[in-house]
Amino acid sequence: MTDRYAVIGNPIGHTKSPMIHGSFAQSTGQDIEYTAIEGPLDGFAGAVHAFRDAGGRGMNVTAPFKLQAFELATDRLERAELAGATNALKFEGDRIYADNFDGVGLVADITRNLGVEIKGACVLLLGAGGAARGALQPFLAQRPSVLVLANRTLETAVALADRFAPYGEVIASGYGDLSGQHFDIVVNATSASLKGELPPLPAEVLKGTKLAYELVYGKGLTPFLRLAQNAGAAQLADGVGMLVEQAAEAFAWWRGVRPDTRGLIDRMKIPLV
């Protein structure tokens, strides 16, 4: 019997998830059907329940529903609880389980695919929204020497640093306080690149950086990546690897088998020019 899964978001026409999970299913011999659902902005819970009642086994969740999915869940795993948001649901009986694989996917892409070690590295994470919240615990688990969280509103960064203190030290910072500092890994977790803008980052911060990582994918050389390139960053990457790796984690959670990701990432990459 074919098991049903889906991704839900609004809008959803741009999603790559059906192609990614279809590839995973084919490579692992799993009998699944995976579709995209455009959830009503005022009817997310109803859409989830309708899919589950029709036999759905699990869902990926994308914008703008990650917070609503978190609230809808009956059981939240630690990563989702810490992030305050979820990007994956699993249905078992009357239970709705929630997890968040964004940060796990990001760390897997950096360490496994890009070959950059986080342990002992100086890491700068830009932004304090949902993407940053999902990334903090997986980053701290890698034991960087320093993890700085920079945000336009310092109070938000401070609150996040306090929230994640049991998992490791996070230094909250305003952008202006970064001048004169240098980092091995700089991750842009802000939404600036979606608008073709730059976070207010001093350019010298990127000088000599081993890896400049842009969470946005498919946009080529974003303003952030261009700034890093001009500053002499050794390696540039966008978020396509994170996208595939977090999908693989959800697939493994649902199906009990983790697909290979490297070939699919290579096929999905576009030149950073």
Give this prediction's pTM.
Answer: 0.94
Instruction: Copy the structure tokens of residue 178.
Output: 């970064």
Per-residue pLDDT of the chain (273 residues; tens, 9 = 90+): 899 999 999 999 989 999 999 999 999 999 999 999 999 999 999 999 999 999 999 999 998 999 999 999 999 999 999 999 999 999 999 999 999 999 999 999 999 999 999 999 999 999 998 889 999 999 999 999 999 999 999 999 999 999 999 999 999 999 999 999 999 999 999 988 888 899 999 999 999 999 999 999 989 999 999 999 999 999 999 999 999 999 999 999 999 999 999 999 999 999 997
Domain 3-100 fold is Rossmann fold (3.40.50)
Q: Where in the chain is the domain with CATH 3.40.50.10860?
A: 3-100
Mean of the per-residue pLDDT values of the chain: 96
Domain(s) labelled CATH 3.40.50.720 in the chain stretch across 103-240
pLDDT digits (tens, 9 = 90+) for 142-160: 999 999 999 999 999 999 9
Sign of CA dihedral 259, 263, 266, 269: negative
- Exactly one of 16, 66, 119, 269 is catalytic; name it: 66
Is 207 noted as a catalytic residue in this protein?
Answer: no
Candidates 101, 4, 7; CA nearest to 63 is 7
- By the 8 A CB rule, do 35 and 13 touch? no
Output the CATH code of domain 103-240.
3.40.50.720
